[in-house]
Amino acid sequence: MKPKILVVRFSAMGDCIMSAWALSGLRHTLPQAHITWAVQDRFAPVIDRSRLVDSIVFADTEHWKKHRSSPTTWLSQFQMFSALRKEKFDVAFDLQGQVKTAFCLRLSGAKKRFATRTSDGMAQRLNPTVDCLLGSVHEVEASLRLLNSWHEFQLPAKPLMPPVHEIPNNQIIIQTGSGHPHKKLSQSRWHQVAKELIAQGHQVTAIGGASDDPIYTDGVTNLVGQVNLERALDLVANAKLHISADTGTAHAASAYGVPAVTIFGKTDPNRYRPFGNNVTILRPGPDPDKITTEEIIRAAQPYLGGRRSASLLVD
């Protein structure tokens, strides 16, 4: 039996990596399956195309969002979703639970369809839904429940992630940005953290997107806005520690087995924290920038003396 499986998860980086945990378990159980993932093109680099999936279908969601009222957008969506019908999928899963992903699942024509149950009434009416305890359990566990509704399997110790180049740099990576302004720490806070780590003798590299804050602290290698996602994965996977707010590269670090110290604010870490071991979560309250430099440095110290196997939530 070689089942053809469609996974629909358009975005974002961290969410795609959390979905990869459960999908990796399915791949280990059904190595002969043909798996297709529908994803936004900017997040495709976090999907392992050599082992996890056999093919990728790109969803141009940024263009659709900018021109959502245009008939050409509706036509583009319909054509992309309908083209999936030619693949004759045996089963398809919507791991995102939005109207756009629900339409993709519905129009795929898969023999069996499973969607995570959400508060979006329209999405729920388009496909059979599964109560994955969304909102009450971690997103990885919710994805596991959805896929287990079709075929039972266990979560792996680590997800299948894209292969990276080995860079023996012994760096501490600081990711200065985040997907939403309310998740970010200030530039001055990262400057203070980097300054203290440099003073302790550590090598520090700062990464982030073009709109994120650079760190110009003496001794810091500032690569903010200068590397693409593939290069960022190389740096993160080879780091000895990743420090950030709640953002996608923290999930990548945990997936590659790199220790991570992650500062949360309004977002619930019990649901969205980087999954796995060697993760410490700091949560000073709804404003993550209320965390002190001393608290971040103290949380990092156990990892800088050698890796430990623990998952700690400091609230």
Q: Using pLDDT thresholds of 50, 70 and 90, give the confidence band for residue 68.
A: confident
Q: Is residue 143 assigned to a domain?
A: yes
Whether 246 and 282 share a structural domain: yes
Pair (8, 57) in one structural domain: yes
Domain count, the chain: 2
Residues 91 and 202 reside in one and the same domain: no
Which residue shows structure tokens 């292969």?
163
Residues 237 and 181 in one domain: yes
pLDDT (0 to 100) of residue 193: 98
- CATH number for the domain spanning 135: value is 3.40.50.2000
Task: Give domain status of residue 155, yes or no.
Answer: no
pLDDT band at 307 (very low <50, low <70, confident <90, very high): very low
**87 and 68 in contact (C-beta within 8 Å)?**
no
Do 79 and 192 form a contact (C-beta atoms < 8 A)? no
Q: pLDDT higher for 220 or 77?
A: 220
Say what the pLDDT of residue 90 is.
Answer: 98
Q: Where does the pLDDT of residue 79 fall: very low under 50, low under 70, confident under 90, or very high at 90 and above?
A: confident
pLDDT at 311: 42
Residue 112 main-chain phi, psi, to 5 deg:
-130, 140
Coil vs helix vs strand at 279: strand
Residue 124 in any domain: the answer is: yes
Q: Are residues 200 and 286 in the same domain?
A: yes
Domain that holds residue 137: 4-148
Cα separation values, 235 from 14, 257, 282, 289, Å: 17, 13, 23, 25
The pLDDT tens digits for 123-149 are 899 999 999 999 999 999 999 999 999
What order do you get walking across the sheet with 311-314 strand by strand?
A: 220-222, 203-207, 171-175, 241-245, 260-263, 279-282, 311-314
pLDDT (tens digit per residue) in 158-178: 999 999 988 877 899 999 999
% of the chain residues with pLDDT over 70: 96
pLDDT grade for 297, boundaries at 50, 70 and 90: very high
pLDDT in tens, 228-253: 999 999 999 999 999 999 999 999 99
Q: Is the pLDDT higher at 73 or at 164?
A: 164
**Cβ neighbours of residue 198 under 8 Å, at least 6 residues apart?**
204, 217, 218, 219, 220
| Higher per-residue confidence, 308 vs 234 | 234
Q: ω before 12 within 30° of 0 (cis)? A: yes
Q: Is residue 26 in a domain?
A: yes
pLDDT tens column, 199-209: 999 999 999 99
Q: Are 82 and 75 in contact (CB under 8 A)?
A: no
Average pLDDT of the chain to the nearest whole number = 92
H-run or E-run covering 141: helix 139-148
Whether residue 46 lies inside any domain: the answer is yes
**What are the φ and ψ backbone dihedral angles of 46, each rounded to 5 degrees?**
-85, 0
Which residue shows structure tokens 């939403």?
A: 180
For the record, the structure tokens of 15 come out as 């969410």
Q: Which token pair is 302?
A: 């156990």
Q: Using CA atoms, how far apart are residues 303 and 113, in angstroms rounded to an integer?
A: 43
pLDDT tens profile 4-58: 999 999 999 999 999 999 999 999 999 999 999 999 999 999 999 999 999 999 9
